[in-house]
């Protein structure tokens, strides 16, 4: 059941990208089927229902397509009995630096989508407004350490008590797996049509200390699914 269900979920989540060109479609399928964080978010019920979401560095909007597809399958009665009910997002707002990705997202969701709004912007400058859940998947290391600290501070200010910040970072203290991670990061960035960036990483302990300083209660989980990477998911809640 689960394999068939996952195939249906991946098909549904990548469908919006089918009209946006070969790259957008293949990228979403590859990403959603090989990156375990998408599956784990649903399987562990990490996201609340009826929430306002803000995804910073959202790329072409794969996470939003995933959440919408999950809800659609659930409402159609195609949902594993042992998985928690998937969220029904009130708002899915994304901020993405690269216009190419924003264009891919716009082709996938349209400009008048009732829930999804993806805008071009730099998260180190953009206004976050208010959100119940803020996510940054694999994007915090693209800007310098002072800006990272400022972004985290502004995320904290944008969340209500009990709000959730979910992120994934590379652990710079992990040795070889960390270097493999960075090499893959450069390769994927290049394939997606962007210039090779300088990366600003930190050891995991430093990320955790910085988040705890901001009052977050932090849970960590390695998120590599058998690959020799140093990726760690951080599930950070504010006290209620």
Residues of this chain that interact with ligand SAM (CB under 6 A) are 31, 57-59, 62, 95-98, 101, 122-124, 137-139, 142-143
How far apart are CB 48 and ligand SAM at their closest, in Å?
Answer: 20
* 157 exposure class (CB count in 10 Å sphere: 0-12, 13-18, 19+): exposed
Name residue, tokens 């502004």.
154
Give the shortest CB-160-to-ligand SAM separation in angstroms.
23
How many residues make up the chain in this entry?
240
The nearer residue to ligand SAM, 56 or 159, going by C-beta atoms, is: 56
Of all residues in the shown chain, the one whose CB is closest to ligand SAM is: 57
Residue 133 CA from chain centroid, whole number:
11
Please say which residue, 51 or 97, places its beta carbon nearer to ligand SAM.
Answer: 97
Q: Which is nearer to ligand SAM, 52 or 168 (CB)?
A: 168
Q: Is the dihedral of CA 132, 135, 140, 142 positive or negative?
A: negative
**Contacts (Cβ under 8 Å, ≥6 apart) of 115:** 68, 89, 90, 91, 92
211 vs 223, which CB is nearer to ligand SAM? 223
- The tokens of 172 are what? 């710079």
Phi, psi of 211 (to 5 degrees): -70, -40
Residue 31 CA to residue 187 CA, distance in Å, equals 14
CB of 210 to ligand SAM, least distance (A): 17
Nearer to ligand SAM, 10 or 79 (CB): 10
Q: How far is the CB of 76 from ligand SAM (least distance, A)?
A: 25
What radius of gyration do the chain's Cα atoms show?
17
Q: Minimum CB separation from ligand SAM for residue 111, in Å?
A: 19
Handedness of CA 234, 136, 68, 6 (dihedral sign): negative
Pick the closer one to ligand SAM by CB: 79 or 168: 168
Q: Least distance from C-beta 180 to ligand SAM, angstroms?
A: 15
């Amino acid at each position: 059941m689960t394999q068939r269900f996952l195939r249906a979920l991946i098909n549904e989540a990548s469908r919006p990208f089918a009209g946006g060109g070969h790259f957008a479609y293949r990228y979403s399928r590859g990403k959603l089927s090989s990156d375990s964080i998408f599956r784990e978010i649903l399987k562990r019920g990490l996201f609340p229902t009826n929430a306002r979401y803000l995804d910073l560095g959202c790329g072409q909007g794969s996470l939003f397509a995933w959440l919408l597809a999950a809800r659609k399958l659930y409402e159609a009665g195609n949902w594993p009995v042992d998985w928690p009910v998937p969220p029904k997002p009130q708002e899915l707002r994304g901020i993405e630096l690269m216009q190419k990705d924003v264009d891919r997202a716009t082709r996938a969701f349209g400009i008048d989508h009732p829930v999804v709004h993806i805008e071009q912007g730099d998260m180190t400058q953009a206004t976050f407004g208010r959100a119940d859940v803020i996510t940054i998947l694999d994007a915090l290391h693209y800007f310098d350490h002072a800006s990272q600290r400022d972004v985290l501070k502004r995320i904290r200010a944008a969340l209500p008590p009990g709000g959730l910040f979910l992120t994934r970072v590379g652990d710079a203290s992990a040795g070889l797996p960390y270097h493999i991670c960075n090499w893959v990061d450069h390769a994927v960035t290049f394939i997606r049509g962007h210039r090779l960036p300088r990366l600003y990483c930190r050891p995991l302990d430093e990320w955790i200390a910085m988040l705890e300083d901001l009052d977050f209660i932090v849970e960590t989980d390695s998120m590599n699914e058998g690959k020799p990477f140093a990726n760690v998911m951080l599930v950070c809640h504010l006290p209620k």
